[in-house]
Copies of this chain bind each other. A is one copy, B any other.
Amino acid sequence: MVTIADVAKRAGVSKMTVSRVINNSGYISQKTRERVEQAIDELGYVPNSLARSLRFKTTATIALILTDITNPFFTTVARGVEDTAREHGFSVMFCNTDESEDVEAQYLNVLIQKQVDGLLLVPACSSARAATLLQERHVPFVLLDRYIPGMTVDNVRSDSEQGAYELVQHLVQLGHRDIALLGGPPQITTTIDRVTGYLRALEEAGLRDRAIVCHGGYTQESGYRMTKEVLAADPRPTALFGVNNFIAIGALRALREAQYQVPDDISVVAFDDLSSAFLIEPFLTVSNQSPYEMGKVGTSLLLARLANPEPTTPQEIMLPTQLIVRKSSGPPPAK
- List the interface of chain A (C-beta within 8 A of B): 1, 44, 46-51, 53-54, 57, 59, 61, 69-70, 72, 75-76, 78-79, 82-83, 91-96, 109-115, 136-137, 220, 246, 249, 252-253, 256, 274, 277-281
Q: Please state if B93 and A93 are interface contacts (CB–CB under 8 Å).
A: yes
A115 x B50 contact (CB < 8 A): yes
- Residues in B with CB closer than 8 Å to A281 are 253, 256
A95 CA to B61 CA, complexed, in Å:
12
16 contacts between A and B (CB under 8 A): A44-B136, A47-B113, A50-B59, A54-B54, A61-B93, A69-B69, A69-B78, A79-B96, A82-B96, A94-B94, A220-B277, A249-B279, A249-B280, A256-B281, A278-B278, A278-B279
Q: Are A114 and B91 in contact (CB under 8 A)?
A: yes
Whether A46 contacts B113 in the complex (CB less than 8 A), given A76-B70, A92-B94, comes out as yes
Tell me if A91 and B91 are in contact (CB < 8 A). Answer: no
Is A114 touching B61 in the complex (CB atoms < 8 A)? yes
Known: A82-B96, A114-B61. Is A50-B53 also a contact (CB below 8 A)? yes
Write the nearest CB–CB distance from A244 to chain B, whole angstroms.
12
Report the minimal beta-carbon distance from A113 to chain B, rounded to whole angstroms.
Answer: 4
Q: List, in ascending order, chain B residues with CB within 8 A of A57's CB.
A: 1
Point out the residues of chain B lying under 8 angstroms from A78, CB to CB: 69, 94
